[in-house]
Structure formats: structure tokens, C-alpha cells
Amino acid sequence: MRIEIRTATAYETREVGRALAPLLRPADALALTGELGAGKTTFVQGIAKGLGFDGNVVSPTFMLVREYQGRLRIFHVDVYRLERVQDVLDLGLDDATAEGGVLLVEWGDAIEGLLPPDHLVVTLTVPRDDETRSIVFDGVGGSWRIRWEQLERLLEPFGGLGPPGPPGRWGVLV
Ligand code: ADP
Ligand code: MG
């Protein structure tokens, strides 16, 4: 299960995050991967907005975990600086999902094995030396399989629904 879309600005990337938010359920986990500056935090800002959190969402790099309350509780984690698996375990990510929160982990691919078996991997890349970003969604597990068509529909305005057709409102199908 894979969807790839492209955005042209940070605003669009936020809008993609916002479009995904209605699909999120208690105990969901998202692994946000991509190099520094790819747009992981920007994407989380959109999710938080879509979940009804009105405040500022900033990088949790120095805080490790930030919590926000929206329709669901949001646990925003950046494990970039953690060098040992134990440091990640110490964060108690299990508690976040056990409490029914939504877990959003930047640099999540490094700890994918520690995430719940069902999770969504969101990979952001910078294909060119400009503001274009590629955003790839990979659903892992049955709970994403049953939501996949819905996700495709939500992302359709961004060009995320195949087969190739006319360009979407913003993105292109790639
Ligand atoms: P990360 O968390 O992956 O390190 P950030 O979201 O903090 O990345 O930063 C992304 C930077 O790239 C921001 O300064 C943002 O304004 C800029 N940017 C430019 N174009 C885009 C885009 N299409 N999507 C996301 N961010 C973009
Ligand atoms: Mg970040």
C-alpha cells in the first residue's frame, strides 16, 4: 500500500497533514522519515491543525517529546539525537499509544521496530533543489489496509489517487 504525492510549498505539506488527520484513531503511530529540512515537522503541524489543536507546533528536537491536545492527544517525538535504543525505550512511546494518543515520530524509520506493528510510514524527500517535496505513504498492517481507500480519497486533491489522470489541485501523481 503506497501513495506518493508532491507538494510545492510548506503550506501544501501542512494541508496534506491536515487532510490525513480525520483518518487518525486512538493509538495510531506514524513514522516520519526524511533528512533535516525535508518537512517532517511541517507535516506534523498540519496533522495537529487537522486534529483541532490551534497552538504552535515546533520541532521537539531538544525536548524529545511534546504533547498537544486536539480531538486526540498528540505525542510528537524527535529521536534524531538519541544514540541508543535504550534512550528511545526510555521515552515510553508505548504509554503514548496505550493512553489512546497518536504517536508522531520524526526519524521514525530508525525505530520502526519499536513502533506498534500497525503504523504508517511517511517519507519526505527533496527531489530537486527547490521547495518541491515528495511525500510517500506506506501503510503497514491491517488497520491501515482497511483505511487505505479512504486515505486515497482524502489525498486525491493532491494528486495522490491513481491511475494517472489530470493533475490534482496541487500535487501531481508520480
Ligand atoms: P524537518 O522536520 O524534516 O527537519 P521542517 O519541517 O522543520 O523539516 O522544515 C522544512 C523546511 O522546508 C521549512 O523551513 C519549510 O518552510 C521548508 N519547505 C519548503 N518547501 C516545503 C514543502 N513543500 N514542504 C515542507 N516544507 C517545505
Ligand atoms: Mg523536524
Query: 141: domain range?
Result: 2-173
Helix residue ranges per DSSP H, 39-136: 40-50, 85-90, 93-98
Ligand 1 atom having least distance to the Cα of 45:
6
Q: Is the CB of 127 under 6 A from ligand 1?
A: no
Give me ligand 1 centre to Cα 16, in Å: 13
Contact 136, 127 (CB under 8 A): no
Residues pairing with 147 in the sheet: none
Query: Looking at residue 63, what is its pLDDT?
Result: 67
What's the grid cell of residue 119? 503504523
Contact 136, 144 (CB under 8 A): no
Ligand 1 atom having least distance to the Cα of 9:
23
Residue 173 has pLDDT above 50, yes or no: no
Chain-wide mean pLDDT for the chain?
87
* Angstrom distance (rounded) from CA 34 to CA 40: 7
Q: Is the CB of 37 under 6 A from ligand 1?
A: yes
For position 60, which CATH number holds? 3.40.50.300
Nearest CA to ligand 1 atom 6: 39
The total number of structural domains in the chain stands at: 1
Q: Is the CB of 36 under 6 A from ligand 1?
A: yes
Per residue in 141-171, pLDDT tens? Answer: 999 999 999 999 999 999 865 444 444 444 4
Per residue in 85-133, pLDDT tens? Answer: 777 777 777 888 888 899 999 987 778 888 899 999 999 999 999 999 9
Residue 52 has pLDDT above 70, yes or no: yes
Contact 18, 45 (CB under 8 A): no
Percent above pLDDT 70 for the chain: 89
- Residue type present at position 26: P
Residue 12 has pLDDT above 80, yes or no: yes
Query: Length of the chain in residues, anyone?
Result: 174
